[in-house]
Amino acid sequence: MNAKNEQPEIQTLSETMPVFPNTQVIKEREESKVLEGALQELDMAPDYASTAYYVIPFRNYETGRTTNVEGPSSKAAMCLARRWGNCWNGARVAEQQEDRVVVQGIFHDAETNLTTMRSVSVSKFYLPKGTKVKTPLREDRLNIAIQAGMSKAVRNAILASLPTWLVDQYVKKAKGIAVTLLTTGKDKPTEKDLKARLEAMAKAFASQGVTAENLKVYMDNLGEVSGNELLEHMIGVFNALKDGQTSVDEVFAEKPKEKEPQPVNLKEVLGE
């Protein structure tokens, strides 16, 4: 896109797929070493473990129930793809619609000749805070949204192609390391430890626009979730906010208040 507000060009699949030289050496993949290498990366760089997954809470105001959608992050997907080896991934603009751009993530396994594609729809509009009027995104903002959509599409294509056991074991270890870092290596942190970690976490959430009051209400509503499980959950929610997969309003906004019935003035009704 440029200053003339041109639309992103649609790319054909052949334009997106890379061409490899005939000299490429293909080595048979050893899946046990793939897992071993991925888990070793977490040990070598434990700070990155906390960015390996996300948690997106979806609330149903009618039933009062919350469904948590969890998954590996784009960073985790790229790490696993790199360790998987002998494969490539990419993204393209697949379709232009009046109100949205459809982007497509592609993953190709050169060893098995498996190609997986996943699409993500990116809106060209947004709702300004406090209004319900759709407003077109500025060109630079639309470009950022498209890039984010491509990242999600590539992540989805990669994760749909890799063995579930590989992804699950990687995320499980990442969660354990992330919580351990927050609790100074204690498997069963004391109440004092948890309080200190939650206070530090509150500062991190404040950087995303979450007030201390909203954070407390949210955690209180989690009910029996506590200790390391609570920390694990909140790390995932923070990642989802930071990566733009959800918003502060969607996660922490209070239930819309119903209008209180106004008292009826009988004299006005009867015309007295």
pLDDT in tens, 220-250: 888 888 788 888 999 999 999 999 888 898 8
Model's pTM, two decimal places? 0.80
Q: Length of the chain, please?
A: 272
Report the share of the chain in percent with pLDDT over 90: 55
Taking residues 252-260, what's their average pLDDT? 56
Between 55 and 12, name the one with better pLDDT.
55
- Edge-to-edge strand list for the sheet holding 100-109: 87-96, 100-109, 114-123
The CA distance from 156 to 150, in Å, is 10
115-138 confidence digits (pLDDT tens): 999 999 999 999 887 788 899 999
Least confident of 152-156, 161-165, 262-266: 262-266
The CA distance from 40 to 48, in Å, is 12
Please tell me the predicted confidence (pLDDT) of residue 124: 95
Please tell me the predicted confidence (pLDDT) of residue 189: 60
Please tell me the predicted confidence (pLDDT) of residue 13: 65
Please tell me the predicted confidence (pLDDT) of residue 142: 95
Apex CA 176: angle with CA 175 and CA 178, to 5°? 65
Answer yes or no: is pLDDT of 256 > 60: no
183-220 confidence digits (pLDDT tens): 665 556 667 777 778 788 888 999 999 998 999 889 88
